[in-house]
């Protein structure tokens, strides 16, 4: 039983060290913002908003062309 608890402790320490390495050390070396895991959602939302805006713009341009052709 004690061996299982000790192994669990080492596994937990390993997970914490990996998290710190991937979320803090790697971004510092690359020069990117810290904790990139938490920033992905914000970037995806911004990309989605940009895509929606592009669709709206293309629809409006198409509508303008149709209106000009009628005139």
Give the tokens for residue 43: 């970037």
Q: In the predicted model, what is the mean pLDDT of residues 27-48?
A: 78
- Convert the pLDDT of each residue in 2-26 to its tens digit: 788 889 999 999 999 998 888 888 8
If one compares 40 and 52, the residue with the highest pLDDT of the two is: 52
- CB neighbour list of residue 39: distance below 8 Å, 6 or more residues apart: 33
Q: In the predicted model, what is the mean pLDDT of residues 24-41?
A: 77
pLDDT grade for 36, boundaries at 50, 70 and 90: low
Record the pTM: 0.46
Model pLDDT, residue 70? 81
């Amino acid at each position: 039983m004690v061996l299982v608890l000790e192994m669990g402790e080492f596994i937990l320490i390993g997970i914490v060290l990996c998290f710190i390495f991937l979320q803090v050390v790697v971004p510092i070396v690359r020069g990117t913002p810290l904790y990139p895991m938490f920033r992905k959602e914000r970037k995806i939302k911004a990309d989605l908003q940009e895509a929606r805006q592009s669709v709206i713009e293309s629809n409006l341009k198409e509508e303008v062309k149709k209106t000009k052709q009628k005139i």
